[in-house]
Amino acid sequence: MTDNFIRYREFIEATGGLPDDNEKGNLDRYYVIELMRRGKDNPDLPAANYHFRNYYIYSWRDLDRYEQEIKQVCQMLNLRAYCSVNYKRMSQVALDTLAESARRIAAHDYKRFYSIFESCSGKYVERGDELWVVDIDDVTDEPVLAAVRRYIRTMQSGYADPVVYTMPTRSGVHIITRPFNLKQFKDGFWEAITAQYNIDVPDVKKNHLTLLYENLNNIWVRRGQKK
């Protein structure tokens, strides 16, 4: 099981925080939680990956009131909950939604019209304040992860410390960072990290989600499959 709700609160607090309640403060800024069924978690069901639904988090109250519901739905339907590392701005996403709606109407394209806001929300990134995810699989040893973080800190980035947070995943970790020189990172990783610790160059993902919650162990055992 992976439960990152406390860590996600810490991460949001460290990167700007949220209002206490929806009735107080500026609700322009929000985060997205996405529930997804992964094909590898459900080999007996059709479709490799299936998006179930989104939750939109405008305040700490939203995160508190949705937490138990998200966990229960994930357990019942064998889903994973992912959360955005980049916050969204409703003012801009609303404009993007309006423009995309007009474009589709002009083209007589009404397929999944209800999903336009969801799509525009997913694409939006606050330029100049964006975060990346360094996706490291099959590595949980802290000395290795500390070495990777030290290496990232040597990259050209324009930030005093590009490393923001480390989030555990089911198969490893996500190191959440400010943007850095990606070519420099890839060119030097083998000599700096792989040669010593024998791990592959990790994927660096922009505008990506990180794992918030999964409780898949019981499902795997019940179906007689390996964990």
The string of pLDDT tens digits covering residues 112-163 is 999 999 999 999 999 889 999 999 999 999 999 999 999 999 999 999 999 9
Q: In angstroms, rounded to a whole number, what is the distance separating the alpha carbons of residues 45 and 71? A: 21
Q: Does 34 have pLDDT greater than 50?
A: yes
Query: Could you tell me the end-to-end alpha-carbon distance of the chain, in angstroms, rounded to an integer?
Result: 11
Place of tokens 């030290």: 150
Tens digit of pLDDT for each residue in 7-33?
999 999 999 999 999 876 678 999 999
Q: Report how far apart, in Å, the C-alpha atoms of 94 and of each of 2, 57, 191 are.
A: 33, 16, 46
Cα dihedral 135, 87, 207, 55 in deg (nearest 10): 80
The pLDDT assigned to 216 comes to 86
Residue type, 18: L
Mean pLDDT throughout 53-62?
96
Q: How far is CA 29 from the centre of its chain?
A: 16
CA distance 159 to 141: 26
Q: What distance in Å separates the CA atoms of residue 167 and residue 165, rounded to the nearest whole number?
A: 7
Q: What is the pTM of this model?
A: 0.90
* 196-211 pLDDT per residue, tens: 999 999 999 999 999 9
